[in-house]
A and B are shown apart, each in its own frame.
Chain A
Amino acid sequence: MLPPFSYVRAQSLDEALAQLGASDTRISAGGSDLLGCLRDEVFTCSKVVSLSRLDALRGIRDDGRGGVRIGALTTIAAVASDPVINQRYPVLAQAARAVASPQLRHQGTLGGNLCQKPRCWYYRGEFHCSRKGGSTCYALAGENQFHCILGGQGCYIVHPSDTAPALVALDATVQIAGRGGTRRVPMARFHVSPRDDIRRETVLEAGEIVTAIDIPAAPRGLRSSYRKVRARGAWDFALAGVALALQFDGATVRAGRVVLSGAAPIPWRSEAVERVIIGQALTPEVAARAGDAAVEGAQPLKRNGYKVPLFRGVVREALLALAQ
């Protein structure tokens, strides 16, 4: 049973923005994460504003400059099967296909996937943890086998999204509407580390709505991929994953981004790996050094030490596969 709330299905973006504002008014896109949070009483909610009628926020369009604009309400399934995304940005298509289960990919939206709440079982459970305004991260001394090895401080979640690391790798930009107008935030700055603010996962202010995600034109020689390791064959969140978007000139990596999932409280751009591979051909030796660089400075917790060799291997394998 969900706690009671009132429900508004906005007919326009302006109406949706006008309906938001109070801190316990919540946006529902597909609702697949929101309803789980409400059921688990992760936060309170007196009013749900549904965006599902806002057809203008749905769909994938060419932006006329070689890039694409993906409406925030586009389903993950639609992203996964879109021919342009598959052709130009395999990393995003592969990440979308790696999200959850078929039903959830159909229900969930890209905007919702970026804004979803952490999956830490203490956060989702009956624990008043730091992220919920308490003073303890229960994972630190608790069951932390699925928590972070990089970037934790006061809170040790991993960011659950598969699409976010792909979009950081592609240098995408988030388009955000608020009552005062719109603003654009690069994906690399959209998620908030607990070091900066333990109470929030994104830079969104109350009353703001993500309307679209813009991906720039694929640069010449771009090759990209998303590799995700799960604890089992069917759906699950990433134990370790890596999004690669690299520009090649022949066999040599000219530029690009490497972003880890399942590693840190935010999609984790690994400049350490980028430094190893840029200017190099991806030989087995370079790939192995890159794998080592991925876990440089990692601080595993009591039960997630396995992630260190796992990331080493995943990064090495993904680089070698992309070099093929």
Chain B
Amino acid sequence: MPRPRPTADPAVITLEVNGERCAVAFAPHKTLLEVLREDLDLTGTKHGCELGECGTCTVLLDDAPVLSCLVLGLACDGRRVRTVEGMAEGARLHPLQETFADLGAAQCGYCTPGFLLTAQALLDANPRPTRDEIKAALAGNLCRCTGYLKIYEAVELAAARLRGEDAEPARETLYGRR
């Protein structure tokens, strides 16, 4: 028999999501992931394992990547959250979004929002990461499709563009080795 799930009084918090302050009411046992998707209609953040293992639910909380499936919504009162919906500026994609699309770093795309935000936090802190630093920063994000190489290359290309370099993808990145 399923356990009864009594409804608790909703809690109200204010937080800043993608630059906008908002108040939101929800049951106290909801995770940030659930609050974003169900109460704020921000479904870009994906719901994977809910156990901290896959990283697809990653968002930035006060600029640091966290797993929103393991954060209570209530713990975010007064804090700043950035989700994938906040990466583009109007119609202009973030350089990471552009390079992920151009280089095939997203296939099924389910892991992509989490990778984008983790990578954004890395590049904000370290504009010129080495391949090893990129691997270490992205180690908590799993991808079942790409084999990661395209993701590393997309982060490197976006990093170059964010530094103002006029970088283009290497030929073999686009067409493979011959």
Among A1, A32, A103, chain B packs the most CB atoms within 10 A around the CB of A103
Which of B50, B58, B65, B72 is A48 in contact with, Cβ under 8 Å? B72
Q: Does B137 contact A (CB under 8 A)?
A: yes
For residue B136, which residues in chain A have a CB less than 8 angstroms away from its CB?
102
Question: Once the chains bind, are B11 and A104 in contact (CB under 8 Å)?
Answer: no
Which residues between 1 and 58 of chain A lie within 8 Å of chain B, taking CB atoms?
1-7, 9, 28, 31-32, 35-36, 39, 48, 50, 52
Stretch at the interface among B26-34, B85-93, B97-105, B150-158: B26-34
Name B4-36 residues within 8 Å CB distance of A.
5-8, 11, 27-31, 34
Asked if B144 is an interface residue, CB under 8 A from chain A, the answer is no
Kindly report which residue of chain A lies nearest to residue B5, judged by CB atoms: A4
Q: What's the least CB distance linking B36 to chain A, in Å?
A: 15
Q: Which residue of A lies closest to B27 (CB)?
A: A4
What sequence of 0s and 1s flags, for each residue 68-95 of chain A, a beta carbon within 8 Å of any chain B beta carbon? Answer: 0000000000000000000000000000
Q: Which of A5, A28, A50, A104 contacts B67 (CB 8 A)?
A: A104
What 3 A-B pairs are tightest by C-beta distance, nearest first?
A101-B140, A234-B139, A7-B28
A101 engages B66 (CB within 8 Å): no
Q: Which residue of A lies closest to B72 (CB)?
A: A31
Q: Which residues of A are at the interface with B, using a C-beta cutoff of 8 A?
A: 1-7, 9, 28, 31-32, 35-36, 39, 48, 50, 52, 100-104, 106-107, 234-235
Indicate if B109 sits at the interface (CB-CB under 8 A).
Answer: no
Name A75's closest neighbour in chain B (CB-CB).
Answer: B64
Find out whether the CB atom of B28 lies under 8 angstroms from the CB atom of A5: yes
Q: Are B75 and A4 in contact (CB under 8 A)?
A: no
How many angstroms between the C-alpha atoms of A39 and B52 in the bound complex? 12
Residue of B nearest to A234 (CB): B139
A28 to B71, alpha carbons, bound, how many Å?
Answer: 10
Residues of B within 8 A of A234 (CB): 139-140
| Nearest CB of B to A47, in Å | 10
List 15 additional A-B contacts (Cβ < 8 Å) besides A3-B29, A28-B75, A101-B140.
Answer: A4-B6, A5-B29, A32-B67, A35-B69, A35-B71, A50-B74, A50-B75, A101-B139, A102-B137, A102-B140, A103-B52, A103-B58, A103-B67, A106-B64, A235-B139
Q: Would you call B72 and A7 a contact (CB within 8 A)?
A: yes
Contact A107 B67, beta carbon cutoff 8 Å: yes
A102 to B65, CA, bound (A): 8
Residues of B within 8 A of A50 (CB): 72, 74-75
Residue contact A104 to B140, C-beta cutoff 8 Å: yes
Q: Is the CB of A106 within 8 A of B7?
A: no
CA–CA, A283 and B28, complex, Å? 58
Question: Residues of B contacting A52 with CB < 8 Å?
Answer: 75
Q: Which residue of A lies closest to B122 (CB)?
A: A102
Q: Within B47-90, which residues are at the interface with A (CB < 8 Å)?
A: 50-52, 55, 58, 64-67, 69-72, 74-75, 77
Chain B, 114-136, CB within 8 A of any chain A CB: 118, 136
User: How far does the alpha carbon of A5 sit from the alpha carbon of B66 in the complex, in Å?
Assistant: 22
CB of B3 within 8 Å of the partner chain: yes
Q: Which residues of A contact B52 (CB under 8 A)?
A: 32, 36, 100-101, 103-104
Least distance between A46 CB and chain B CB atoms (Å): 10
Bound-complex Cα distance A236 to B119 (A)? 21
User: Would B139 and A5 count as touching, CB distance under 8 A?
Assistant: no
CA distance A81 to B20 in the complex (A): 32
Give the distance to chain B from A208, nearest Cβ to Cβ, in Å. Answer: 22
Residues in chain A near residue B74, CB distance under 8 A: 7, 9, 50
Most buried by B among A50, A52, A107: A107
| A103 cross-chain contacts in B, Cβ below 8 A | 52, 55, 58, 65-67, 118, 140
Known contacts being A48-B72, A102-B139, A103-B58, is A6 close to B65, with CB within 8 Å? no
* A35/B31 contact (C-beta < 8 A), A50-B75, A102-B118, A103-B118 known: yes
Task: Assess the A32–B29 pair: CB atoms within 8 A.
Answer: no
Contacts of B28 in A (CB 8 A): 4-7
Complex Cα distance, B73 from A2, in Å, reads 12
Contacts of B140 in A (CB 8 A): 100-104, 234-235
- Please state if B139 and A36 are interface contacts (CB–CB under 8 Å): no
Closest A residue to B77 by CB, please name it: A9
| Chain B residue contacts of A107, Cβ below 8 A | 66-67, 70-71
Cβ contacts A to B, 11 pairs, < 8 Å: A3-B3, A4-B7, A4-B8, A32-B52, A35-B71, A50-B75, A103-B52, A103-B67, A106-B65, A107-B66, A234-B140
Known: A101-B139, A102-B139. A3 touches B70 (CB 8 A): no
Chain B: CB-nearest residue to A7: B28
A39's partner among B30, B51, B66, B137 (CB-CB below 8 A) is B51
